[in-house]
Amino acid sequence: MKAMSFSPANHCNLKLQKNPIKQPILANPTHFSSHQNQKPSNKKHQFPSFSIKASKTPQTPLTKNPGTPPLVVVGSANADIYVEIDRLPKEGETISAKTGQTLAGGKGANQAACGARLSYPTYFVGQVGEDAHGRLITEALKNGGVNLDCVRNLSDAPTGHAVVMLQPDGQNSIIIVGGANMSCWPEKLSDEDLEVVRKAGVVLLQREIPDLVNIQVAKAARSAGVPVILDAGGMDAPMPPELLNAVDIFSPNESELARLTRMSTESFEQIGQAVVKCHKMGVKQVLVKLGAKGSALFVEGEKPIKQPIISAARVLDTTGAGDTFTAAFAVALVEGKTKEECMRFAAAAASLCVQVKGAIPSMPDRPSVLHLLQTV
């Protein structure tokens, strides 16, 4: 896909969502911990925090209050059209699907839904069309506790959608139609949108919206000292150096890393060599999602941190697993956990995700993730 340029001549009709969004309220906030004999804390928490493993260094208690800097996700929202098939069709072949359904998805919406499901205050900045698919997505996010004050409804572009071809082993192939995700963005983002970014605790980006938008958001976040995580998933186009230079953590999977660097990523040694090229391109931390082989965080000048997968009882659908991993990592990071703890928390969330069909419907809640961590 070629890089896009934007002009005020697009004359898009943009409307801010006015629906009040209710954040999830925990009636009896609890401090989750893997330590069975820990004394209860006297501090009150609006959002539960977690402890994965005893750390060798003292950890500052995390107090969640209404002023907690939120997770802000700027990105795509798609209607995912699922078709379950026995195999992919060959060229020129027509096959029948066993079932089909339409669910809310898109990398941005997935990550926002995951943040809210993990009981962290989450904002989504994105665009949908004024159509049934747009209503499907906003209702799913609103019901999940995501703040939609910065979601725009476009009258001049349809909601983005994706065809997800799901095979019996849970693996999928996906075709994306950008729609509102790639259309009618203003040449310059509003101060209102960027103010949300500047007040964030962490910002998540993906490449299913124009790079022009991501660059503005990343620069605004960096100017305010807000960490930015860029998920490499999305358009198959060269990565603008201006974007890489403005993010703190770049998160590709193996194939995305290979495509970006034009290097082989079949072995861990080759992955490490490709990551070195990313460092030279301007990004200091690279979080690589390795599928069944787990994940690895490469910080320039430091030894890689490896995290194996946490085995799932069954794998029904891998759609959204990478988004779940990235969002869970971001939540743990903004809550002050060590990088090792962040990766372990993210691995547990992804393990639960693949056991449920659909992207947003499969996002795990915090108690489920913590329970899994305490049992492995």
Residue 293 annotated in ligand binding? yes
DSSP-derived 3-state class of residue 198: helix
Q: Are 127 and 151 in contact (CB under 8 A)?
A: yes
Residue 106 annotated in ligand binding? yes
Q: Which residues of 3-27 are buried (b: 16+ CB within 10 A; e: fewer)?
A: eeebeeeeebeeeebeeebebbeee
Residue 170 annotated in ligand binding? no
Residue 94 annotated in ligand binding? no
Helices (H), the chain: 107-117, 132-143, 191-198, 211-223, 241-244, 254-261, 268-281, 321-334, 339-353, 366-375
Which DSSP helix (H) or strand (E) runs through 68? none
Nearest to 184 by CA among 53, 15, 324: 15
Residue 290 annotated in ligand binding? yes
Q: Are 153 and 77 in contact (CB under 8 A)?
A: no
Active site residue 248: no
Residue 109 annotated in ligand binding? yes
Residue from 191, 231, 323, 365 carrying the catalytic annotation? 323
Residue 226 annotated in ligand binding? no
CA distance 260 to 159: 28
CB atoms under 10 Å from CB of 192, counted, come to 11
Residue 261 annotated in ligand binding? no
Residue 113 annotated in ligand binding? no
CA distance 352 to 301: 33
Would you call 241 exposed, middle or buried from its count of C-beta atoms within 10 A (0-12, 13-18, 19+)? exposed
Integer CA distances (angstroms), 166 to 112, 278, 310, in order = 23, 32, 22
Q: Quick one: tokens of 357?
A: 């069909």
Residue 179 annotated in ligand binding? no
Residue 33 annotated in ligand binding? no
Q: Whose structure tokens read 């490449």?
A: 207
Contacts for 260-269: CB closer than 8 Å, 24+ residues apart: 260/232, 268/296
Residue 78 annotated in ligand binding? yes
Residue 80 annotated in ligand binding? yes
Residue 208 annotated in ligand binding? yes
Residue 292 annotated in ligand binding? yes
Residue 65 annotated in ligand binding? no
Residue 362 annotated in ligand binding? yes
The binding site comprises: 78-80, 106-110, 208, 253, 289-294, 317, 319, 322-323, 353, 356, 358, 362
Q: Hey, which residues are catalytic here?
A: 323
The binding site for ATP comprises: 253, 289-294, 322-323
The binding site for K(+) comprises: 317, 319, 353, 356, 358, 362
The binding site for substrate comprises: 78-80, 106-110, 208, 323
